[in-house]
Structure 1
Amino acid sequence: MKKFLLVVFLVNSLFAKILIQGAMPIEVDTLVANLKDKKETKVASYLFYEGKLNGKEVVIQRTLKGLTNAAAATAIAIERFHPSIIINQGTAGAIVEGLKFGTIVIGEKLYNAGSYRTDFSEYTINPLGRRPMKGPLELLDDNNQKQVNEYFTSDEKLVKKALEFGKKYKVQKAVIASADAFNKELLWLAYLNKTYNANVEEMESVAAAQVAFAYKIPFLSLRIMSDNMVERVEYDPKIAIKLQEFIIKFVKEL
């Protein structure tokens, strides 16, 4: 029995695939350019590139932007390619002072910042009166019982690996608020920080994490700061290349 389990482990290790996701071309093109034995596939609206990256079997996926695309793309990728690890990566906005342009962060906690409830009001609107709602993060457990999650997390072992490998890059942990929004209102950024203790915002991680959690696949959120409205640093998507270069080296550790 032990020999059988060892063989299964070795086979799984040899044929394990890492799914690496990015929403925009600028967030995946460097990864795709470095693939060996590349094979392109399109399923629905989502592009996939299979091949070897630094000696590892990977699938690079362009998910398109937003929570719905991220969730749908992740589910399709899992059913089609059966990855052992999922890395959702790309650009993100810093929403606090001190988180500099080009800083790489690990999404330790991931919130759906577009999920909220309000009190009844017939004639007024109070954006700051919104309260977080857990409903959209609902899943069923192994006994088909409703499981309501306040947030999702990156896999503990993957976080540890990324922090260890990323020491010389000064990689740090972060709390991410995901929503279908690109916010430049400083009061709203302060609200996100206060409500979720978030220091980063973006548009995909929590949705991909939710699907990965449902399938019980280890998940890692990696983001690079492409702007910081609090410090008046405007958005520059080209910084996404730096994160992909980091990932190309990092996959060798997985």
Structure 2
Amino acid sequence: MISPPFRLGVISALQHEQHGLIDLMQDRRSVTRAMREYVTGSLWGMDCVCVLSRVGKVAAAATVATLIERFGVTHIVFTGVAGSADRAVRVGDIVVADALVQHDMDTTPLFPRFEVPLTGQSHFASDLGLTNRLAKAAQDFVGMDLRALVAAQDIDAFRLHQPRVHRGLIASGDEFIDSRSKLAELKQALPPLLAVEMEGAAVAQVCFEFGVPFAVIRTVSDAANEDAPVDFMQFIERVAARYAFGIVKRLCAEGATA
């Protein structure tokens, strides 16, 4: 259950990942801050601020800090795509983060590998309540909404016939992982790793430092190796954006009546 006041910040790295959400906002207002457009309004009865962070940890961290300090969001959800880091996680699956780690953070021998200096943390845990609700929204989307929102030809083209929702560890870094050797190295260092991307752990660190609940959800777009699809942007437009739309809709509608 969520008690008022409640204002949700919805962040994505790329424009297409929020396709349709901003168009549906009621009482919509746009504010430009630090080269980003923050759109405030209501989505399915929930007070929201939607913004594109752009790609990378620094961009994501700046966006989150602005959401908290300038726009007063009380909870944050990051949506987007990721590469699989586990054989059980396939293209079209969804990964909801229970924890996030910066895979390119290494200040040894001063601090252990992956630990963010002066925080005592390497793995930043997402908010359990918000993550549970987001995972349920994702599961309901897969079970009930996917075929209504994703075209049949795209389901066939991207082999989305039985997508699954996973929960676990996501790693972030300022590097697009597209090599089997690099992925194997990360998996050896972080055996529970399910997916890799470029923003989530920065969101997690900023939210940890501000004490703001957060959750991160990713649609798996590729296997984080040399076989990554050349039609990456088509996958975002035709699949991932529709996943995000349907899942955020369920999350907001549930929260509005909680």
Q: Structure 1 length normalisation: TM-score?
A: 0.81
The within-5 A match list for 1:89-128 is 89-117=79-107
Match of 1:76, SS state, is helix
Instruction: After TM superposition, give the deviation of residue 133 of structure 1 in Å.
Output: 3.6
The reply on whether 1:132 has 2:122 as its aligned counterpart is no
Alignment of 1:139-218 (within 5 A): 146-168=118-140, 169=142, 170-197=164-191, 198-218=193-213
Question: C-alpha distance in 2, partners of 1:167/1:62?
Answer: 25
Q: Greater Rg, structure 1 or structure 2?
A: 1
Once structures 1 and 2 are overlaid, which stretch shifts more, 233-242 or 197-206? Answer: 233-242
Amino acid at match of 1:157: G
CA distance in 2, matches of 1:26, 1:166: 19
Offset at 1:165? 3.4
SS at match of 2:19: helix
Q: Give the Cα separation in 2 of the matches to 1:59 and 1:118.
A: 38
Match of 2:50 in 1: 60
Q: Which has the larger displacement, 108-117 or 198-207?
A: 108-117
Please state how far the C-alpha of 1:253 moved relative to its aligned partner: 2.1
Partner of 1:237: 236
User: Counterparts of 1:233 and 1:75 in 2: how far apart (Å)?
Assistant: 32
Q: 1:81 to 1:106 in 2, by over 3 A?
A: same
How far apart are residue 26 of structure 1 and its match? 0.8
1:30-109 matches, within 5 Å, as 30-109=20-99
What TM-score do you get using the length of structure 2 for normalisation?
0.80
Distance 2:173 2:125 in 1: 16
Please tell me the residue identity of whatever aligns with 2:245.
Answer: Q
Aligned 8 A contact 1:30 1:245 in 2: no
Structure 2 unaligned segments of length 5 or more: list them.
Answer: 143-163
Mapped contact 2:196–2:224 kept (Cα < 8 A): no
User: Is the 1:28–1:244 Cα contact (8 Å) retained in structure 2?
Assistant: yes
What CA distance in whole angstroms lies between the structure 2 residues aligned with 1:186 and 1:179? 16
Query: Structure 1: how far apart are the matches of 2:99 and 2:124?
Result: 6
Secondary structure of 1:68's aligned partner: helix
1:245 is displaced (CA, Å) by 2.1
The 1:209–1:187 alpha-carbon spacing in structure 2 relative to 1, beyond 3 Å, is same
| Structure 1 residues not aligned, in runs of 5+ | 1-9, 120-130, 139-145
RMSD: 2.1
Q: Find the aligned partners of 2:114 and 2:74 in 1 and give their Cα distance.
A: 31
AA in 2 matched with 1:245: G
